[in-house]
Homo-oligomer: A and B are copies of this chain.
Amino acid sequence: MTTSFDPVAATCPVPLAENERVLLGHGSGGQLMAELLADLTPRLGAGALEDAAIVATGAPEVVMSTDGFVVTPRFFPGGDIGSLAVHGTVNDLAMRGAVPVALSLAYIVEEGLPLDELRRVTASVARAAQACDVRVVTGDTKVVGRGAADGLYVTTTGIGVRLPGAHVAAAGGRPGDAVLLSGPIGLHGVTVLSTREGLGFDSELTSDSRPLHRLTAAMIAAGSCGVHALRDPTRGGLASALNELAAASGVGVELEEPAVPVPAQVAAACELLGLDPLHVANEGCLVAFVDAARAGTVLAAMRALPEGSAATRIGTVVAAHPGRVTMRTLVGSHRVVDMLVGEQLPRIC
């Protein structure tokens, strides 16, 4: 997702002072705030942002999604709070079969945050948005006093336009559908946790944070109307995503444990930490309910893209036990795969 355009290099030839920090006045709506925005908005590669922006969509309906991001630490292997915010919102749109068109960006900043960090996050937002072919069109910055926030929170909202032929919905699953997964699970959650706690796993681990809208577009193009439901298993992990889809569609899901790809480092970290990889957050994979007759074609289309190169079938949608997800384990027994209860990994996204 890196491109030849580097917003920092493009707009900031002077070395940044190390000691500049965000002041309460930067959120005032006055002169200091104007200076902050004049510093930050060119990094978005977008000219001046307006309080309200006009966005050409070319369609009489849009898809809209919003997400707050509170991840800690804000920088981790494979991404940061800025790129994560862009990917998270783009992916929520993609799961409704939409092509992202525009993003808004709202910062809540703690007084004292190094200005340079805000610049880095903003440049990361710009790079991620550019790589997604989506524009940041409007934004907002609030500053709260020391101790009233933990550095920086980012809320992104996206609008997009549905692809022709996209009729995916959480309630779209049907008995007989194949359950497809686009790639290995657990990388984001374990990477962030390991980085935060200094567990040392992070030397080998990288978040899977990435945009999935090209993957969903390829799936929908290949699947005709056979792609029934899509979900990115973020907070709550694969288990929660499948439970939500099963409940919404009024169907059951039967997984095959050997088919669920858990990277060795994720398995090792989960073993040590007492986590279930099925409950660990992902930011760069998706699960789909696809008409069995189209599943092979859809899988082939997924595997043709880097973000779907490890796509695989992990189970089947069934009429039995509606709303419940079960898994045939390695030893052949069946177990119920519940939603995550309570909190496993706070502030993972």
In this assembly, does A277 line the interface, its C-beta being within 8 Å of a C-beta of chain B?
A: no
Q: Which residues of B contact A343 (CB under 8 A)?
A: 23-25, 27-28, 30, 32, 143
User: Is the Cβ of A61 less than 8 Å from the Cβ of B57?
Assistant: yes
Given that A95-B52, A340-B30 are contacting pairs, would A65 and B138 also be in contact in the complex, using a CB cutoff of 8 Å? yes
Who on chain B is nearest to A153 by CB? Answer: B108
Contact with B along A331-349 (1 / 0, CB 8 A): 0000000111111101100
Whole-angstrom distance from the CB of A158 to the nearest CB of chain B? Answer: 8
In this assembly, does A43 line the interface, its C-beta being within 8 Å of a C-beta of chain B?
A: no
Given that A51-B95, A52-B98 are contacting pairs, would A70 and B144 also be in contact in the complex, using a CB cutoff of 8 Å? yes
User: Is the Cβ of A62 less than 8 Å from the Cβ of B68?
Assistant: no
User: Is the Cβ of A28 less than 8 Å from the Cβ of B60?
Assistant: no
In this assembly, does A56 line the interface, its C-beta being within 8 Å of a C-beta of chain B?
A: yes
Partner of A57, one of B52, B62, B102: B62
Partner of A155, one of B50, B62, B68, B102: B68
In this assembly, does A55 line the interface, its C-beta being within 8 Å of a C-beta of chain B?
A: yes
In this assembly, does A105 line the interface, its C-beta being within 8 Å of a C-beta of chain B?
A: yes
In this assembly, does A93 line the interface, its C-beta being within 8 Å of a C-beta of chain B?
A: yes
Query: Which A residues contact B (CB, under 8 angstroms)?
Result: 23-25, 27-34, 50-70, 92-93, 95-96, 98, 102, 104-108, 137-145, 147-150, 153, 155, 157, 159-160, 162, 170, 234-237, 240, 279, 281, 338-344, 346-347
User: Is the Cβ of A60 less than 8 Å from the Cβ of B62?
Assistant: no
Given that A51-B92, A60-B56, A108-B108 are contacting pairs, would A29 and B65 also be in contact in the complex, using a CB cutoff of 8 Å? no
Q: Which residues of B contact A142 (CB under 8 A)?
A: 68-70, 153, 347
Nearest first, the 4 A-B pairs at minimum CB distance are A29-B235, A30-B340, A29-B236, A66-B104
Whole-angstrom distance from the CB of A1 to the nearest CB of chain B? Answer: 22
User: Is the Cβ of A140 less than 8 Å from the Cβ of B104?
Assistant: no
User: Is the Cβ of B66 less than 8 Å from the Cβ of A34?
Assistant: no
Whole-angstrom distance from the CB of A324 to the nearest CB of chain B? Answer: 14
Q: Which residues of B contact A70 (CB under 8 A)?
A: 108, 142, 144, 148
Q: Which residues of B contact A236 (CB under 8 A)?
A: 28-30, 33
Whole-angstrom distance from the CB of A140 to the nearest CB of chain B? Answer: 5
Q: Which residues of B contact A67 (CB under 8 A)?
A: 106, 140
User: Is the Cβ of B140 less than 8 Å from the Cβ of A68?
Assistant: yes
